[in-house]
Amino acid sequence: MQNILIVDDKDENLCALATLLEQPGLGLLKAANGNDALRLLLKNDVALVLLDVKMPGMNGFEMAEIMRRNKKTQTIPIIFVSANDTKPFMFRGYEVGAVDFLAKPLDRNALQGKVKVLLELDRQRRELEIQLDEVRRQQQQNWKLLSALGDGLVAVDAGGEITFANPAMNQLFGLDPQVITERNLGDILVQSANGSTTPWLSSDIFLSSSKGERLNRDSGFFVKTPKELVPASISSAPVHDSEGVYAGAVFTLRVSANERAKADVLEELAKKGRRQSRKKMSTVLRMFERTTGTNLGRLANISLEGFKLISRNVVPEGTRYQISMVLPETIAGSNTLSFDCVAVWCRPRTEHPQENSAGFRIARIGDNDLKVLTQLIERY
């Protein structure tokens, strides 16, 4: 609901203005002097002020000057209402911030017409603020999600120049996102174990994305880190502009999964006389699909081979997911855990029919994430 504040030291004028303005969905606030009016302005959201000029104590011009110095009230439109319509008097009103000036006796049509326009402008302003707040919220949410991803995320333009890289690129490969941005992708990602540069137009990422195709590779790519070439797995997707013209690609990078590393973990557990079992989680952890940010559900138990989720959604069997989860503490130098998995089964929970239990098999996990997972199982 929108509010209009009417300020006049005479009760009959307040009642007359209220009668002219009264309509459904419109709140009318009344004040007989400047001090009371300012208190109402600070307590309420007001779309418009109809302000008498000649009042005892603080006059209308003085009240307007105070309003324009206060952050909460400085943009509220003011229409001065006065029997004095001389030019010097009106100019004074505009100097202190009035948007209009109405002379007494008031013309009903003129008053209602001006009020209607200003209320519509206020409504549009409020809608725009809500939209801007939503955009800012979405931007913050997207940035948090991008920052929380365990995978490196890189975007390139149609010429292969890097336009964006997330913080995980530093965590995984020691590459500062700010340093590599605006460099060519071939400077950091190659398709040769000897480190020779792969031209952008010859790279598999360009050849697939320029055709509108996705690319998923577990091997064959290498990231040039400050110390060495690191084998990487990649998942890329094309990007097009609003007119459908090819604009580049976005892709995730992770250290290639090493099945030998998993075998080494299992061997180490065997040496300690511990068998690999599913560990029931003692804290609430939620898993997210990295490409969409969708909350898949809360983790019930997990092992090196798979896990179970409690979800409100039905999970189709055989569906492959790229998973990320934020850890309750830093584990093995990481705040996140990421891997790919495949849904194996899904059924309603007996005790909570509105929820589903779903089982997943871990399909791909990097060496560092494997270390994180192993310590997570041990701690929780």
167 and 230 assigned to the same domain: yes
Domain-located, residue 139: no
pLDDT tens figures, 176-210: 988 898 899 999 999 887 888 888 998 999 999 99
Residues 224 and 317 in one domain: no
Are 285 and 274 in contact, with CB atoms under 8 Å apart? no
**If you average pLDDT over residues 250-276, what whole number do you get?**
58
Instruction: Judge whether 338 lies within some domain.
Output: yes
Q: Which residues pair with 153 in a beta bridge?
A: 252
Question: What average pLDDT does this structure show over 258-281?
Answer: 50
In a domain, 266, yes or no: no
* Residue 144 falls inside a structural domain: no
Please determine, for residue 266, whether its predicted confidence score (pLDDT) is greater than 70. no
Report angle CA 243, 245, 246 to the nearest 5 degrees.
Answer: 145
**Full domain range(s) for residue 48:** 2-125
| Higher-pLDDT residue of 318, 84 | 318
Of the candidates 22, 210, 187, 323, the one whose C-alpha atom is nearest the C-alpha of residue 3 is 22
14 and 117, same domain (yes or no): yes
How far apart CA 155 and CA 360 sit, in angstroms, is 30
Say whether both 363 and 297 belong to one domain.
Answer: yes
The whole-number pLDDT of residue 206 equals 94
CA angle at 357 for the pair 356 and 358, rounded to the nearest 5°: 115
Has residue 143 been placed in a domain?
Answer: no
Looking at the structure, tell me whether residues 92 and 189 fall in a common domain: no
pLDDT digits (tens, 9 = 90+) for 15-39: 888 888 888 889 999 999 989 999 9
SS (H, E, C) 172-191: HHCCCHHHHCCCEHHHCEEC
- Would 250 be classed as within a structural domain? yes
Alpha-carbon dihedral sign for residues 260, 261, 262, 265: positive
CB–CB of 290/323 below 8 Å? Answer: yes
DSSP code for 257: B
Report the CATH number at residue 246. Answer: 3.30.450.20
Q: What local confidence, expressed as pLDDT, does residue 259 receive? A: 42
Which tokens hold the place of 16? 């007359």
In this model, does residue 115 exceed pLDDT 60? yes
Rounded to an integer, what distance in angstroms lies between the CA atom of residue 33 and that of residue 11? 11
Is residue 249 within 8 A of residue 160, CB to CB? The reply is no
**Domain assignment of residue 55, yes or no:** yes
pLDDT digits (tens, 9 = 90+) for 49-74: 999 988 888 888 999 999 988 888 98
**282/240 same-domain check:** no
At 160, which amino acid appears?
Answer: G
Range of lowest pLDDT (19-23, 71-75, 255-259, 288-292): 255-259
Same domain, 308 and 369: yes
Residues 121 and 74 both lie in one domain:
yes
CATH of the domain at 321: 2.40.10.220
* H or E, element range at 3: strand 2-7
Q: What is the pLDDT of residue 309?
A: 92
Would you state the pLDDT for residue 376?
A: 86
Dihedral of CA atoms 349, 350, 353, 359 in degrees, nearest 10, equals: 10
pLDDT for residue 28: 92
Q: Which of 231, 256, 281 is the last residue of a domain?
A: 256
State the pTM of this model: 0.42
CA dist 151 and 265 (Å) reads 22
Written as six digits, the tokens of 297 are: 């559900």
* Number of compact structural domains in the chain: 3
Across the chain, mean pLDDT equals 84
Query: Do residue 15 and residue 102 come from a single domain?
Result: yes
pLDDT at residue 212, rounded to an integer: 92
Chain Cα centroid distance, residue 22: 40
pLDDT grade, residue 150 (50/70/90)? Answer: low
Q: What is the mean predicted confidence (pLDDT) over 296-302?
A: 89
- Residues 84 and 96: their CA atoms lie apart, in Å, by 16
Does residue 137 form part of some domain?
Answer: no
Question: Residue 377: enclosing H or E segment and its boundaries?
Answer: helix 367-379
Check whether residue 105 and residue 181 sit in a common domain. no
Does one domain contain both 101 and 159? no
pLDDT exceeds cutoff 60 at 279: no
